[in-house]
Amino acid sequence: MNTKGKKYIICVVGPTAIGKTALGIKLANHYHTDILSADSRQFFREMEIGTAVPSKDELAAAKHHFIQHISIQEPYSVGDFERDAIANLNELFTTKDVVIVVGGSGLYVDAVTKGLDYFPDVDPAIRATLNTKNIEELQQKLLALDPEYYEKVDIANPHRLIRALEICIGTGKPYSSFLNKGKEKRNFEVIYVGLEAERSIIYNRINQRVDIMLENGLLDEVKRLAPYKHLNALQTVGYREFYEYLNGTYDLPTAIEEVKKNTRRFAKRQLTWFRKNEAILWFNYQESIAEITEKLDTLLTVN
């Protein structure tokens, strides 16, 4: 394919359980290229079942990068990912014109495609104080200080709440006011492919995925990682709820339903994030690979 000397990344995005992994592999095979994962939960080698890491067959079907490449005990920020991902892309682009990026973590996709925002340093004591607050207090404080960002952020993620609040308090300005300010221009073009379905279908797929995870041993994985449940990596849907079960807050059926409910909420937030990107080419989750690549091939040769 003649891309006229340009380099491209094709970003496959959409809600969880919609089929991004399968499409990414098909696209990688079509363009004879690699996949860069932008799913922040799949970075950690100890978390496999609860993060829906691609299967061994899927990993063998196309070369993947940033899948289980670090430990939950290693600090790894979105800034670290941006740095590593761009270095990885620059290396891949020495031999390839197209690379596939797959992920439902909007912030991490944006880190690759657009770069990160600059935030000033703030007093570490602010974070220390915020770490003593419960999640409801953090949510209410962010709603008061930055209602715009409150509507975008995963309000069930205390790490994200604290990060926003320390900037709000430390600078006296809303966290959202620092977003989308002068970023470094990328040396590649970006094409976004989004997968969509009716909400009822997405929710059914999520419920089925959780059931399959449980059949595959999710609860055993949760128990094995219990000594590390305080780490940020495990403060996430599919693990947090089962720790509430293990400490007696929930019975098992309630914990399972909470996982399904919170995953559905997460999918809704993912769609809200991606719907704001008008550059995304949306396809039904059952669309044939031939139809998708026909559209993409046109864009790659015309642009």
Q: Is 18 part of any known ligand binding site? A: yes
Six-digit token string for 95: 């031999």
Q: Is 298 among the annotated ligand-binding positions?
A: no
d(CA 272, CA 266): 10
The H or E element containing residue 299 is helix 289-302
Tokens of 87: 């270095």
The reply, when asked if residue 248 is annotated as ligand binding, is no
The answer on whether 120 is annotated among ligand-binding residues is no
Q: Is 20 annotated as ligand-binding?
A: yes
Contact in structure between 129 and 188 (CB atoms under 8 Å): no
Question: For 57-77, b where at least 16 C-beta lie within 10 A, e where not — what string?
Answer: ebbebbebbbbbebebeeebe
Answer yes or no: is 16 a known binding residue.
Answer: yes
Give the residue among 169, 20, 28 at the shortest CA–CA distance from 109.
20
Contacts of 176 (CB under 8 A, 6+ apart): 146, 148, 149, 152
Query: In this structure, what DSSP letter does residue 280 have?
Result: E
21 marked ligand binding residue: yes
**Through-space distance between the first and last CA atoms of the chain, rounded to whole angstroms:** 13
* Sign of the CA dihedral with 41 first, then 119, 125, and 163 last: negative
Is residue 301 a known part of a binding site?
no
Q: Residue ranges for the binding site?
A: 14-21
Q: Residue ranges for the binding site for substrate?
A: 16-21
Q: Residue ranges for the binding site for ATP?
A: 14-21
